[in-house]
Chains A and B, each alone.
Chain A
């Protein structure tokens, strides 16, 4: 075959180095194949990110392979990353020769046979269809909406996630065919590090890990710092509950991160780089490792990259799972093999970081933005987003949403657009109550903030933080005290224990919250303590955020203080009326038995863990309130609806 003569080296030679040359017809053809503009045999894409795996993509994949073998169908099966439609997983896309690529949702293994039978015969299964991708070179399917026109995608602006979920993350050639490494090649061949920094500073790219510091300035500080040995660290220790932006980028398009890192390393004058990866991201680790090795083999990493004299090695280090290691100085300590606890700043890592050498720590998303900026220029980058927060932001939207998943929107998009336009509103048509933005140590936003543009400045104005991109949306059925308790519990568990205000303070905050959600204990001084505690909450929160050592402690009281601010009446109900309006706080629930409805079946009494239900068989039962812990098992097991929640 002619194709076999085109190797990765040819691609690099023709596409990255000799840009002025005419591209040969062979190569043209090869590129069309790599970009899946045209395919010669059916290609089946299975969304195999971690989210896909959890939804059963691997079983679906097995079923597909089995089907192909059984029916002797010659087709290519490709595992892709996550496209962001987590609600629709497992996703299976099929592209037939001459036809556009169509996408099916929720493809369980038992659906595979019917689905493939139909599709391979050019009939599509309307029930599970999501849409088809636009492709000018092929014949579109009839009566199937374009994916790009779906509300979920229409309101997004996908730059970093552009290829995520579409291309094969194991294939370096596909990335190059899509224009990858072009920015790196042209930079290494014709630009100085200062020029790269300049472009990135002009683009206004700000750290996506949460800090919002100008990335170009950070590189400049490290580049100008004294010393030969400098380091670049990619922070991929993503541990916010409900956040998976970094994971999706690495799993879906690992080469993009590598190119971004290479550019950053070049700009900041570093020669050794680390990716500090969360240890539970096994799939991401596997994919980035493969990508690094492929790049090394192709001469895109390692010694004398593309004959430019620039060297870069990327090493992967997995963390042991401590939340605090996402904080850059704690991360550096952990990388050095020490206990992962933050160091005081100054000295900042750009002056004294890893092994006391100048170090740049950038988040995955920040680095993934860089190739685009270099390729398209600062002006083009600034076309999306707002004046002070240019570009796009990836959010992991979870919670009580119709469609939860991964989205990328321009900075300045409002919460309303995200929740109601992209995510399709709140589940089951319930009312929106609040959204937790910026991870566990972020703030909650309420309905009055629905039209606030999401960008660094306007969030700061309402005392919220951008964070790394976690967005948890809750509906009217959620108890805000319970939610605050959940986040404080998470944070006090995640506290490293180094500084006193965070270690002792968050623990006391949690205990105060537990105090007001617990079943009242009569006859001792606990009641008085409870009130005393509540009165301290605000001041305690202020001291913790003012005095704590690192970002974790400084922002730890935020979820509590913000819920306290917007939902004070709910707190008051818990405190004064001992009532949880959503009936979430177990300790405050009261159950009674409707003696009319109770048949005396004894099931509830048998299941009660506290032996709080009394009554003779075939006679109505009663709940002894003092003994009841509010677990609600009786309520769940009663077949006669005789247990009532007061």
Chain B
């Protein structure tokens, strides 16, 4: 029901019982907020959205107060503005004055608010909190000094992800946010998904950057530096450069990376093609053996960390196939090295993706082969953009280039594997191909192309009948797993991605982008698939070539040693 309310002398329409904030936003009126989060219960912590309502003594937080009838609101009266400004000044008075050295310089909500509120004078002085930087995690760095305790990270981690790795600790001015007992992040249940970074308004949380390491390798005379790009990263990078969201930058990234000095640029989708082949083989094998339990995907490092820490070990049902970029990395450090006559220790592989958890994943012993890590460095979309900027590449001037062969050639099924439901789609296409010997036409499976968190698909072809589930969101994944455990839900295959919307909503993505951008990124990836000519891994000629020359057919011994972690499975993880 729409009712009239008066805001700053004008009548606007508001829904009864919606919050004042949402009514204002729908009518194009902005009030600043720090702690408000869409779809979550308001917490009312920051008080920035305070407005004046006639008849009330104090100021009222717009984020939590419902529209309950006629009200006369002032959103920017001097009283309100003074209050907001004072709050920002109070925050600044207890904030390190090191904006110029901060990773979020120019991209900080607090900085913006200080500017918006015209804070030009230091009115409050006094002690500032001093806490240790926590850089114990390979992926995420916490700088508690910069934390303004808005609680967004805590709420997201708890309410959306169900992980609750970080909490408020102590009270009053001593309050801080950290893992239980204020221990370090590497000793916590953190899955390194990086969503806390995405929600942090300041520089209190950020990824651990590794660009120096990459620069050094590039300028090292012996090192052969290879970039493994990722399609989800490629369709998100444009936003970092202020370009249209969803623009496919893969050609430009290839060119930029070569210009920086990378010796070769490959596509992780090639690894995904291998990965899908392995999954389909495993799935068929399990079906033949009559295994009741579903096969679980294992390409999302955040999910893997969660599975590991909750079951004490790698659960039996998670695929032993290496995640796509590791498959490619291993091939590069063996087959490619031999072919190119390069010492594997001189090959330096940089994986460019949208993920912070992969930074932790690559340090895992299970992904080290013969003393060499499959991947040397994993960089996020943000770091990739920074790296391109650092090396003075003008992306507007350079021409698009293709990836290098042979491992730059990939099916479009591989390119969408990072989308929620994308891997399942790729698996279905492969299943169809191996059952029928021809491609699925049309290749797209619309049932898996929606924004639901849990998508189900029943694959039926002759004798073979499989139920496939794609879950995005770690909380939903936990629910599905519990249902499977209790027997209330059955499946043959479950794809799990810890972040909402899959990797396009990853923790390494451009910060402070509008929510619609995720839609554009998704559309861009589906466009690639819809326009592409090779839609299934089996039809990728380079995969066939590699199988013939090196790996053998799915199920071969070579594949088992090269592409799986079977031998070192449990103890190592």
Contact = CB atoms under 8 A, between A and B. Distances in A.
A546 B56 CA distance: 10
Contacts of B175: 496-498, 503
A346 interface: yes
B93 interface: yes
A500 B45 contact: yes
Given A500-B87, A501-B47, A536 B172 contact: no
B101 interface: no
B172 A492 contact: yes
A549 interface: yes
B335 interface: no
B124 interface: yes
A565 B226 CA distance: 72
B46 A497 contact: no
Interface in B60-100: 61, 63-66, 79, 82-83, 86-87, 90-91, 93-94
A178 interface: no
A532 interface: yes
A543 B126 contact: no
A500 B90 contact: yes
A508 B124 contact: yes
A341 interface: yes
B564 to A, nearest CB: 43
Given A339-B167, A504-B91, A547-B59, A497 B172 contact: yes
B457 interface: no
A499 B46 contact: yes
A547 B58 contact: yes
A344 B61 contact: yes
Contacts of A158: none
A577 interface: no
Contact of A547 (B50, B172, B173): B50
B149 A548 contact: no
Given A346-B66, A532-B123, A496 B44 contact: no
A529 interface: yes
A504 B87 CA distance: 8
B43 interface: yes
Interface in B86-126: 86-87, 90-91, 93-94, 123-126
Contact of A504 (B50, B94, B167): B94
Nearest to A492: B172
Contacts of A512: 126
Contacts of A546: 50, 58-59, 79, 83
Interface string A506-520: 111001100000000
Interface residues of A, number: 38
Interface string A310-330: 000000000000101000000
A539 B82 contact: yes
Contacts of B406: none
Contacts of A533: 124-125
A547 B170 contact: no
Contacts of B46: 499-500
B148 A543 contact: no
Interface string B158-194: 0000000001101111110000000000000000000
Nearest to A504: B90
Contacts of A322: 171
Contact of B173 (A341, A344, A495, A536): A495
A501 B58 contact: no
A543 B170 contact: no
A346 B65 contact: yes
Interface in B25-63: 42-47, 50, 58-59, 61, 63
Contacts of B86: 501, 505, 539-540, 543
Interface in A475-529: 492-501, 503-508, 511-512, 529
B127 interface: yes
Contacts of A549: 44-45, 47, 61
B61 A503 contact: no
Contacts of B125: 511, 529, 532-533
Given A344-B64, A546-B59, A549-B47, A500 B91 contact: yes
A545 interface: yes
Contacts of B93: 504, 508
Contact of B47 (A346, A493, A500, A506): A500
Interface in A114-134: none
Main secondary structure of the interface of B (DSSP, over half): loop
A511 B126 contact: yes
B128 to A, nearest CB: 11
Contacts of B168: 339, 341, 497-498
B87 A497 contact: no
A536 B87 CA distance: 13
Given A500-B46, A547-B87, A495 B127 contact: no
A498 B44 CA distance: 9
B58 A494 contact: no
Nearest to B170: A497
A148 B50 CA distance: 54
A523 B58 CA distance: 42
Which of B126, B167, B170, B175 has most chain A Cβ within 10 Å?
A: B126
A318 B124 CA distance: 39
Contacts of A506: 172
A606 B438 CA distance: 98
Interface in A530-555: 532-533, 536, 539-540, 543, 545-549, 554
Interface in A323-372: 324, 339, 341, 343-344, 346
Contacts of A539: 82, 86
B171 A324 contact: yes
Nearest to B42: A344
A554 B50 CA distance: 14
A499 B173 contact: no
B126 A499 contact: no
A526 B63 CA distance: 39
B33 to A, nearest CB: 12
Contacts of B66: 346
B45 A499 contact: yes
B171 A505 contact: no
A453 B282 CA distance: 84
Which of A341, A497, A504, A505 has most chain B Cβ within 10 Å?
A: A504
A510 to B, nearest CB: 9
Nearest to A533: B125
Contacts of A505: 86, 90
B149 A503 contact: yes
A512 B171 CA distance: 21
A47 B90 CA distance: 50
Contact of B171 (A343, A497, A554): A497
A344 B49 CA distance: 13
A507 to B, nearest CB: 4
A536 B85 CA distance: 13
Given A501-B86, A548-B47, A495 B91 contact: no
A1 B533 CA distance: 105
B88 to A, nearest CB: 9
Contacts of A339: 167-168
Contacts of B87: 500-501, 543, 547
B172 A507 contact: yes
Contact of A492 (B82, B167, B173): B173
Interface of A: 322, 324, 339, 341, 343-344, 346, 492-501, 503-508, 511-512, 529, 532-533, 536, 539-540, 543, 545-549, 554
Given A496-B172, A503-B149, A547-B50, 13 more contacts: A322-B171, A344-B65, A495-B171, A495-B173, A498-B43, A499-B44, A499-B46, A500-B90, A501-B47, A504-B93, A539-B82, A539-B86, A547-B59
Interface of B: 42-47, 50, 58-59, 61, 63-66, 79, 82-83, 86-87, 90-91, 93-94, 123-127, 148-149, 151, 167-168, 170-175
5 contacts: A322-B171, A339-B167, A339-B168, A344-B43, A539-B86
Lowest 8 CB-CB distances: which A-B pairs, in order? A497-B175, A344-B44, A344-B64, A504-B90, A511-B126, A495-B172, A543-B86, A547-B47
